[in-house]
Amino acid sequence: MGGAAAASTISLTPMRRNLVDRLSFVCPVCSWSGSEPVPLSLSVDREVAGEVVSGAFRCGNCPRRYPILDGVAVLDPEPLRSAYDEPDSLQSYLWTHYADLSHEPLDDPPPPAGDYFARLAEQPLGGLVLDLGSSVGRLAFEVSARADFVLGVERSFEAAKRAREIGRTRRVAFHLRDEGNRGRYVDFDASRLVRGNVEFVCGDAAALPLAPGVAGGILAANLVDRLRDPDHFLSRADAVLRPGGRFVLTAPFSWRPDVTETGRWLGDSVRSAREALLDWFAEHGYAVEEQAELDLTIRNHRRFFELLRPLLLRARKSV
């Protein structure tokens, strides 16, 4: 265990300039409204040893400016304060993503979810892989062993920043709430998981800053039922995925009317959400390679855990 000072200090995690060049970001608004992708140009305010700490991406077609704050590129056309930016939410997801890496148990059972992320990442995904709704980064790091490069896109700025911090320090450090106002700082090594072929940005999975056909694989874990328009998201993800690429999706279908209007939920009184997704994959030329149910545990505090049972669909786009 680490002390409070070690866990509470979050240092800057600059964006690597060579990765910016490799990813070739495009304007997430203009590129989807016109016939051709519109590249973003990088302007740097502060750079240290080839790493961009602050600056902006600018569109050559519209006046939009996408800032880089503390090394995190904010490529969201409509940035918002996410519920996942809150400390309690962050500590819950950090536990879910990384508790199995701790050198000593952080809680009594139920167990953490390392097997869940390994299961999603067990098949190779070539080229650029997108982890959409990447949260604090476990799946992106997990799949990086079987991919050329992984880009995590997460709408919560704080979650994206924390994922990048884990990638830079190769450690996981956070305050773990036990009950009420009581808690403890935990600090443990993540070096066996973290690799250098991963980057995270703050962005909207339904307004991707990438050109069509650039991705060899797409991961969307527990995302589709937390979007305003799931059908719109699926069409955008399909456009970015190249022929022959894999689309790996999980969802517990825990819909919330304040997030997704009921008329936009997948499925209806006749078809389940699973059946609606299977129909969508068939209509868009995908071969579904696997269907399964997985278990995922979320920790709120030491006496309150939630068990999710997401559906897993793994599908391959026709060539």
At 78-113, the pLDDT tens digits run 888 888 889 899 999 999 999 999 988 898 876 778
Q: Is residue 20 part of a domain?
A: no
Residue 281 included in any domain: yes
- Say if residue 200's pLDDT is above 90: yes
Compute the CA torsion angle 6, 10, 11, 17 (nearest 10 deg): 140
DSSP E strand stretches across 222-318: 241-251, 286-293, 296-301, 304-308, 311-317
Chain position carrying tokens 């809150």: 86
Model's pTM, two decimal places? 0.92
pLDDT, residue 104, reads 85
- Tell me the pLDDT tens digit for each residue of 152-161: 999 999 999 9
Is 82 part of any domain? yes
Evaluate if residue 70 carries a pLDDT over 70: yes
Residue 171 lies in a domain: yes
CATH number of the domain bearing residue 106: 3.40.50.150
Q: Hey, what are 163's tokens? A: 């994922």
Separation between Cα atoms, residue 3 and residue 112, nearest integer Å: 23
Per the structure, the count of domains in the chain is 1
Domain membership flag for residue 76 = yes
pLDDT band for position 126 (cuts 50, 70, 90): confident
Give how far the C-alpha of residue 26 lies from the chain's centroid of Cα atoms, to the nearest Å.
Answer: 19
Q: What average pLDDT does this structure show over 281-300? A: 96
Average pLDDT over residues 246-274: 95
Flag whether 289 is in a domain.
yes
Residue carrying structure tokens 């060899």: 216
Q: Residues near 70 by Cβ (< 8 Å), separated by ≥ 6?
A: 12, 13, 53, 54, 161
Q: What is the pLDDT of residue 202?
A: 96
Q: Which domain holds residue 177?
A: 72-317
Domain contains 244: yes
What's the whole-number average pLDDT of the chain? 89
Q: What is d(CA 11, CA 106) in angstroms, rounded to the nearest whole number?
A: 24
| Domain-located, residue 34 | no
